[in-house]
Each structure stands twice: as C-alpha cells, then as structure tokens.
Amino acid sequence: MKKTTTSTAVIKCNDATMNLPNILTLFRVLGSFVFLYYSAIEEWQIAFIIFGLSALTDLVDGALARLLKQRTRLGAILDPMADKLLMFFSFMTLTASGYLPIYLTTLVVARDLFITLGLRYLISQKAEIKYEPTFLSKTTTCFQITTVFIALMTTQTMYPGWQPHRSPIVKNSLTLFVMMSVVFTALTFVQYFKIGLTILHETRARQRAL
C-alpha cells in the first residue's frame, strides 16, 4: 500500500476467468487445506512436500500470468488468498507442534488481521486505495516463507541419510530467521499503520473540500 490516493486499479485484467494460471492458483488454495490436514496429524513428510510444491506452483502461475498476459480479476483474488491460507496454516500448525514460537505466530496473525480490517475501514470511508506491497513487505514475506521452510526441515526425521533436525546449522538458521521475521513483521506493522493514517487524512481532507 503506497502513499497515494490514485485509482484502485493496479493492473489490467482480462475478462476471462479460468485459464492455466488461475487453475494452478486454485490448486494452491486446495493444497493449503491438504497441507493443513497432514500437518495437523503431524505427517510432516507429506506436509513438507506439499509446501514445496505450493511454493513452486506460486512461482509458475505468476510467471505464466505475466508471460501469457492472462492476469484476471479472479487471479488477483485467488493468488493472495492461496498465499495467506498456506502461511496461516503453516504458522498455526508448526506453532501448535512446538516448531515455531507462539510470539512470532501471534505477531504475524495480528499484522495480517490489522491490514485486513484497516483496508475494510478505509474502503468504508470511501478512500481510494492502490494496494501494492512495499519493499519492506516483500522482504518480510521472504523472511516468513524461509522461516516456515526451515521449520519444516526440522520436522523431517524419517530419512536415515538426512537428519536436518539434528543439524546445528539448521537450528541456528531457524533461530536467526525467526528473529528477523519478528523484526520485519513488526516494522511492516508500523509502516502500514502510518500509510493507512496518511490515506485516511487525505481522504477526509478531500471530502471536506467538496
């Protein structure tokens, strides 16, 4: 969300809804619930594979949408939904099983909830919003995804030749990325709060001038 009160349109969207990128994105949405099931019953090997496939599919469907010029309104809705579902389920199940600290998950969920409620409030105030992730937000997402990936690595105990849960490098890396995720998630919390206030003040100033 940038400091702006310009048009709400971010990209041009085709009218067609079901195309290959959207089908892949829909599979990611469904895959998030499959991930939730297997992680909830602590079948971490399968959950790890599903997470990896979802991450790969995320890259593929985004690239296809750009290359084939098949960006649609449906895709604009499904893509962030798939991302948020997978990350939410990942943080919740990994925290419930003791692989991630509860303070990180609480902060991540609180920030996303704050952004969602903030956007709804701004829309109710007839604010003109152009939503684009900031550089800080993209960096935060990278740290969060990497944190989840490393945490999932520590769940892998069934392979004799691969025991990442015993590796000091993996454990230290997880500690580092947890801390970085906390810092950057908190920073984006503050950043979006300031951006939201700016948009709200500009909206009210514009309405008073009418």
157 part of a folded domain: yes
Write out the residue range of the structural domain in which residue 131 sits.
Answer: 20-209
110 part of a folded domain: yes
CATH number of the domain to which 33 belongs: 1.20.120.1760
- How many domains, in total, are found in the chain? 1
58 part of a folded domain: yes
Both tokens assigned to 10? 């971010």
Which of the two residues, 23 and 40, has the higher pLDDT score? 40
Q: Helix axis angle, 135-153 relative to 44-67, nearest 10°?
A: 150
13 part of a folded domain: no
pLDDT tens digits, 55-71: 888 777 667 667 767 66
pTM for the model stands at: 0.81
- What pLDDT shows up at residue 159? 66
Which of the two residues, 75 and 164, has the higher pLDDT score? 164
Contact between 130 and 7 under an 8 Å Cβ cutoff? The reply is yes
Q: Give the confidence band of 10 by pLDDT, cuts at 50, 70, 90.
A: very low
Both tokens assigned to 18? 């079901």
pLDDT at 28 over 90: no
- What pLDDT shows up at residue 151? 95
Candidates 164, 188, 186; CA nearest to 99 is 164
